[in-house]
Chain A
Amino acid sequence: MSRKPSLNIPHPPARPGDAPDFDYVQISAAGAVERPEVNSSVRSMNHLTDDLVRVMDDEHAAVGPWDPQLDAGELQIGLRNMLLTRLFDAHMVRMQRQGKISFYMQSLGEEAISVAQAMALEPSDMLFPSYRNQGLQISRGRNLMELMCQCLSNTNDMCKGRQMPIMYHWERGNIFSVTGNLTVNYPQAVGWAMAAAIKGEDDIAAAWIGEGATAEADFHHALTFAAVYQAPVILNVVNNQWAISTFQGFAGGERRSFAARGPGYGIASIRVDGNDFLAVHAVTRWAAERARRGIGPALIEHVTYRAGAHSTSDDPSRYRPKDEFAAWPLGDPLQRLQSHMIRFHGWSEAKHSALTEELTDIVTGSWEDACSYGTMSEGPYLDHSELFEDVYKDMPNHLLEQRDELRRQLEED
C-alpha cells in the first residue's frame, strides 16, 4: 500500500469539550526505578529517560531507592514554601485582575519543582530560572515584598521599573535575571558552570526552561557545551504539557521523552515525576552531587502540568479541556506532600489550616508593605532619570541630552 507523504501534525489527545486523556503519559510505579550510582556512565542509564522516577505511592508512602529520607522538619519547610508560592501566585493573579499590576505568570501545579530543587542545592549554587520559578526565590528566603515591588515597578523594584512583572533577579541570593526571551538562560548557565570549573570552585549552576522552549537552538548550544566541557550544571526541562496553545508534541515530545535528548549529547538524563516533591528532591541531589564531584552535567525532565493559564493574557479554555488538571494522573504536588506528611510525619488538617492562615497573612501584609513603595496609580514614584541609568556604566552624552530633554518637558507640564 502506498501513501502520499503529508506533514505529521501533532494533535493533543483532547481539545475543549473533549474528555481529558493522559494515556500518552508514561508512568512508572513509585519506587520501581533503579537509582544508579552517581558516578555511573551515561551509557548505563538510558532507561532513566523513559522511566519516571517516583517516590510517593498511591498510599502516600515514600518507597524505593530514590526516597531522599527527609526528616519532618525539612518536609515542613518544603510544604511551607510550596504553599507560600501558591498563595503568593493567587494573590498576584488577583492583583492583576484588579488592574494593580500589568501582567502575571503563575506556577500553579508546578510548585514542587522549584521548591524541592532549591532545597536540594546549596545556597551558593547559581540559578538561572524561567518565568515560572518563583518558588526558587521563595525557597531561598526572598522577602515576598521585594518580589511584589518588582511586579509594581515601584521605588523598591530591584529592576528599577525597567522590566515587566515576574522578571525578577536576586544578586545576593544567587538567582539570575528572568527574561522574556526563551532558552537564552540555558547556555548562560553552562557558561557560569564553566567559569566555576575554570576557577576551580565547587559551586554548580542550574537552569530551567519549559518543554516548548527546548525547540530553540540555545537548547542545543547548552547541551553541546555542557557535554564537551563536562560543565557542572543541571539543565531542567519543565514539561508541563503545554506551551501556550501548543501541547508538548509540538516540541518533539510525541515519540521520545525530553529527557531522552540528553544521552544523545552524552549527558546523564533523568525523567522525574515533577509533582512528587520527594522524587524531585532526590533526583536533584543526585544530579548535584554528580556535577559537584566533577563527574558531569545532568538533564532532568520534570513531568508536570501547567494548571493555570499561560499568563494573565491567556485563555486556555480556547485550546484545552477545562477540567484537565483534575484528570492529571500525577495529581497536585502540594496535596500529595501534605497527604504524605499527614500519614507519616505528624502533620494534620488543623496544622495545615493554621499554616495557610499564617502564610495568607504574610502575603497580604507583604502586599501592603510593597504598596507603600508606590503603585501604578499612587506615589512615591521612581525618578524619571532612572529611565536613562544603567544603559551603560557611564552615561554617554546623547543619553545625558535625552535625559535633560525629558526633564525639561516634564517641568513644563
Chain B
Amino acid sequence: MPQMNMIQALNSAMDIMLSRDAAVIVIGEDVGYFGGVFRTTDGLQRKHGEQRVIDAPIAEGGIIGAAIGMGVNGLRPIAEIQFADYIYPGFDQIASQLAKLRYRTGGDFTAPVTIRTPCGGGIRGGQTHSQSPEGLFTHVCGLKVVMPSTPYDAKGLLISAIEDDDPVVFFEPKRLYNGPFDGDADKPAVPWSTHPGGEVPQDYYSLPIGRAELVASGEELTVLCYGTMVHVAQAAAERLQIAADIIDIRTLLPLDVATIKQSVEKTGRCLIVHEATRFSGYGAELSATVVEECFYSLEAPIRRVCGFDTPYPHAFEWEYFPGQKRVMAAMQALLEEG
C-alpha cells in the first residue's frame, strides 16, 4: 500500500476527482502555479490546466461567491481558503447564500461547493494562523462539516465531499499534514509512514459522510474527539493505560449519533475533547446529544477539554493547546467520579 502524508492524500483526492469529473475545478489563493502555500494542490494546474486549477485574487468573499455561481452553472468547485482564520470575509456568502440556496429555492438551485481550509494550531501561528472555527459552521443549517484525522480519511472524505450535492466545509488540521502529532511538541516529529492511517490507496475510494470511527475500544470511558485531538486522546489513554473507546467524530455534521450512543451506553463515562475554544463550542452539541441520548447510562458528569476561551496566543502555545496532560487529568477525574 502506498504511504502518503495528509497533503499528498488530499492532493490525490483532488487529482482523481479532476480526472473523473470535468465539472470539478479548484480555485483559491496561490493554488495554481505555486501549488498552494502548504503544497496541497502541487502539480494539479500543470496536469489539469489553468482553466480548472485557478489562482484567485485575495478575496475570500469573491472566491466563495464565485464558487457558488460556478456551482449553480453546473460545476463542482473546490474552493481553498488559505487559512481558516481568513474565511470570515467569505462568511456571508457561506452562511447566508451557500448554505441556504437549496432551501430558499425549493431545491431548484443548488451549489455543490466544497470549501477546504487548514485549521488548528501547534505551528506558532498566533491568532491568525491557528483558529478552529468549526463551531461557527456547524451552527449554520445547510452545511456539512468534516474534519479528518488521518491521510486515509482525508482522501476518502474529501472525495465524498466533492461528490456531495450539498456544500461541505472541509477542515484540515494543519498540524497533522506531515505526521500524526499527539500533542507532545518536545518529542521529535514522526511521519505518517509510522501510522496505519498513512497507508492510502492510489486509486479512487470514498468514505461516507455521517459516519464516525472507533479508533480504539475499551470499556472504561468514551472519548469524543476529532482532528488533531484524536491523536492526543489516544496518546493520553495509552499513557494512563485506560481502556477507552476513542471515537473520531470525523464528520461533525451530519453527526453519527448511533456510534456515540452505543459507546456511552457501554462505558457510562464521556470525555469530549476539541482544540476549539470551549464556550458554545462544538463540544456543547456533543454533550447535549450524549445527555439526551444516554442520560440513564451516565455514571459521571460529562467533561470537556477544549481550548481556553481566549484568542490563540503566540507565547504559551503549549500551555494553551489542550495537550495530553489536560486530557489525562480529565480522564482520571472522570474515572474517579460517580
Contacts and interface: CB of A to CB of B under 8 A. Distances in A.
Q: Do A and B bind each other?
A: yes
Interface of A: 6-7, 9, 15, 102-103, 153, 157, 159, 161-165, 167, 179-182, 212-213, 215-218, 243-246, 250-252, 313-314, 318-319, 381-382, 384, 386-388, 391, 398-399, 402, 406, 409-410, 413
Contacts, number: 129
B87 to A, nearest CB: 11
10 contacts: A102-B124, A161-B315, A164-B314, A181-B85, A215-B57, A217-B59, A244-B30, A398-B278, A399-B309, A402-B309
A167 B126 contact: yes
B126 A180 contact: yes
B124 A103 contact: yes
Interface of B: 29-30, 32-34, 37, 50-51, 54-62, 85-86, 88-89, 124-129, 278-279, 308-311, 313-316, 319-320, 325-326, 329
Contacts of A153: 314-315
B128 A162 contact: no
A7 to B, nearest CB: 5
A162 B302 CA distance: 31
Contact of B57 (A162, A163, A250, A388): A250
A103 B326 CA distance: 28
A211 B325 CA distance: 45
A181 B314 contact: no
A6 B310 contact: no
Question: Sorted from nearest, which 4 A-B pairs have the closest CB atoms?
Answer: A180-B128, A161-B315, A245-B34, A215-B57
Contacts of B55: 9, 245-246, 250
Given A7-B50, A244-B30, A162 B326 contact: no
Given A181-B128, A244-B37, A409-B326, A216 B319 contact: no
A382 B316 CA distance: 9
Given A153-B315, A398-B309, A179 B128 contact: yes
A370 B66 CA distance: 47
A363 to B, nearest CB: 23
Given A181-B86, A244-B29, A387-B310, A409 B329 contact: yes
B89 A387 contact: no
Q: Is the interface of A mostly helix, strand, loop or mixed?
A: loop
Contacts of B326: 409
A330 to B, nearest CB: 24
Contact of A243 (B58, B129, B329): B58
A248 to B, nearest CB: 11
A384 B310 CA distance: 13
Given A180-B129, A212-B58, A215-B59, A244 B310 contact: no
A6 B50 CA distance: 10
Given A246-B29, A387-B320, A402-B308, A9 B54 contact: yes
Given A102-B124, A244-B34, A217 B309 contact: no
A81 B134 CA distance: 45
A335 B93 CA distance: 47
A307 B290 CA distance: 56
Q: Which of B32, B59, B279 has the most CB of A within 10 A?
A: B59
Given A161-B315, A216-B89, 17 more contacts: A7-B54, A15-B33, A103-B124, A153-B315, A180-B128, A215-B59, A244-B29, A245-B30, A246-B57, A251-B57, A314-B37, A382-B315, A382-B316, A384-B316, A388-B308, A399-B309, A409-B329
Contacts of B32: 9
A184 B89 CA distance: 10
A387 B329 contact: no
B147 to A, nearest CB: 22
A246 B308 CA distance: 36
Contacts of B124: 102-103, 164
Contacts of A102: 124, 314
A245 B33 contact: yes
Contacts of B85: 180-181
Contacts of A245: 30, 33-34, 55
Contacts of A398: 278-279, 309
Contacts of B129: 164, 180
A388 B50 contact: no
B310 A399 contact: yes
B314 A161 contact: yes
B4 to A, nearest CB: 21
Nearest to B59: A215
B311 A391 contact: yes
B51 A410 contact: no
A388 B34 contact: no
B310 A388 contact: yes
A191 to B, nearest CB: 18
Contacts of A409: 325-326, 329
B58 A216 contact: yes
Nearest to B315: A161
B60 to A, nearest CB: 8
